[in-house]
Amino acid sequence: MEMDIKGILEHLPHRYPMLLVDRVLECVPGESITAIKNVSFNEPFFTGHFPHHPVMPGVLILEAMAQAAAITSFTAAGKKPDEKTVYYFVGIDAARFKRPVVPGDQLRMELKVERVSRGIVKYKGKALVDGQVAAEAELMCTVRTIDS
């Protein structure tokens, strides 16, 4: 299934400036997702990272990948996030950064579900720019209900 920004906003609790997924090209709930982040010079982090040579922080590339993963988790569970739901990182393994991501790039995130155990989902994924791997990692995430 494909998803535009309206569908993404229904399936993620994140909002500007932390929403880092612009489009879903393909989502097989509970199995895999391919999503896009269009990297613009207007991103708030470029003001300080770095003014003379803007580079998307690696942690935000991993965050974008985790947000894409969250979409497949929520769709697999048949749920949509609400004010009592949070989506947490539980772990990041084997993270590697292969090339900088700069304004004007389109970050293509490809993630596959590796394992589901006790409410924790492990994904293996990569982020590409123009077919070149910019980052890769194994991400572990979970959905939790919070008490208000």
Which listed residue (11, 14, 49, 52) is catalytic?
49
Say which DSSP state 82 is in: -
Is 14 one of the annotated active-site residues of the chain?
no
* CB-based contact 33:69 (threshold 8 Å): yes
CB proximity list for 30: less than 8 A, separation 6 or greater = 72, 73, 75, 76, 113, 116
* N-to-C CA span, the chain: 34
Catalytic machinery residues: 49
